[in-house]
């Protein structure tokens, strides 16, 4: 029999569990919630400042993004951040970009 289907299901379940770990930790441990929100706010601010520069516009855009992503949707943002950081750390996104590039050449 073909066992490749089971491996795909296991990988998908592992990614779902990985995405659920940060919200669970943030709910169970309030100090982890505060630390993660501070980290997310700093990451958003530094990213916007890196793209736009040191101007009042970057402060406005950072404030809007921090309000929505850190204050309103902190659990989702933490989950997405950890998930994307995991993918980047194992260079999965570079493989995806390479695959998309190969398909666009046709």
Give the domain range for residue 82. Answer: 4-104
| pLDDT for res 71 | 95
Domain count of the chain?
Answer: 1
Q: What percent of the chain has pLDDT over 90?
A: 51
DSSP alpha helices (H): ranges in 1-106? 4-28, 30-52, 56-66, 74-89, 92-104
Mean pLDDT of all residues in 5-18 = 81
Mean pLDDT of all residues in 51-69 = 93
| pLDDT for res 75 | 92
- Residues near 36 by beta carbon (within 8 Å), at least 6 away in sequence: 22, 26, 74, 78
Crossing angle of the two packed helices 74-89 and 30-52, in degrees rounded to 10: 70
Q: Say how far apart CA 86 and CA 47 lie, in whole Å.
A: 18
Cα angle 86-89-91, degrees, rounded to a multiple of 5? 110
Residue 77 has pLDDT above 90, yes or no: yes
């Amino acid at each position: 029999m073909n066992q490749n289907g089971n491996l795909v299901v296991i990988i998908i379940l592992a990614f779902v569990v990985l995405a659920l770990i940060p919200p669970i930790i943030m709910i169970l441990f309030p100090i982890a919630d505060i630390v993660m929100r501070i980290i997310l706010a700093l990451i958003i601010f530094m990213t916007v400042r890196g793209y736009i520069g040191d101007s009042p516009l970057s402060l406005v855009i950072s404030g809007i993004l921090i309000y929505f992503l850190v204050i309103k949707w902190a659990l989702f943002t933490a989950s997405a951040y950890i998930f994307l950081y995991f993918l980047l750390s194992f260079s999965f996104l570079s493989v995806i970009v390479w695959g998309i590039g190969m398909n666009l050449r046709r």
